[in-house]
Structure 1
Amino acid sequence: MQAIIFTGIPGAGKTSFYRQEFFATHVRISLDLLKTRARETRFLETCLQTGQQFVVDNTSPSREERAKYIQLARQAGFSITGYYFASRVDPCLQRNAEREHPARVPDVAILSAARRLQRPSLKEGFDQLFYVSLQQVEFQVEEWNDEL
């Protein structure tokens, strides 16, 4: 059983990456989709109780925000993989500007997430971590190096 946690600012490509890589195998848990923490918690609890693989497709910018998912998944016996979407703010703002409502978020949401963004670490409890970057229209996934 696998729990995947995405970390990255809005517009970095998290949802597109989910669709490309995990749509057929993992439930998507996303505040953009579910709208409230209560609904998100319900979906998460259901996945944990039933052993359903899932992806947390949120910004999850801080260690504290990721800790909730890591702790619950670990207690339920899931392996935990993280994907860090290393993105600069300007390209994210540009991609966001090209989105249609309701996918478009206020620019301040991107800027705020960028300020709060803490690079994940294996020490947080991840079994694996990967860097993801959007190169033109393709995703590049690289092995993690905690030293970078």
Structure 2
Amino acid sequence: MAHHPQSHLLRRGRYSESGRAYLITAVVHERQPLFRDFRLGRLLVAEFKQAHELNLINSLAWVVMPDHFHWLFELKDATLPQVVGRTKSLSTRSINRARGSKERFWQRGYHDRAIRTDEDLRKVARYIIANPLRAGLVEHIGDYPLWDAAWL
């Protein structure tokens, strides 16, 4: 995979629209499989839940894969950079505390995709939570511990 040191600049000018659903993907630096450790994955999930509880977003679906996450949410009382920055920052702090580490482990930036109003959010959520199946990590989604969807 080619390294693009300026790739984080591709999203300069990112637009955040309150009430719109977004699919966010963030990757661990050098694709370290950090979240193979269930305990560390749960610390990240706690940050997803806190953003929802603080009314920054309405969390719709998420999956934490060994080296990245996908998160579908409706933006409420925050911008995309605020939500993702806060989540990555606070999860870094709690995960590093649990690991006895001080290293930065998130890759810079993140990928976002605004969901069009005519798209079926449940279909997008099903795609997200099927990631462990497609990756061959489990044979049944119920066997994978790090996912959730609002419709369940």
Q: How does the TM-score come out when normalised to structure 1?
A: 0.28
Q: How does the TM-score come out when normalised to structure 2?
A: 0.28
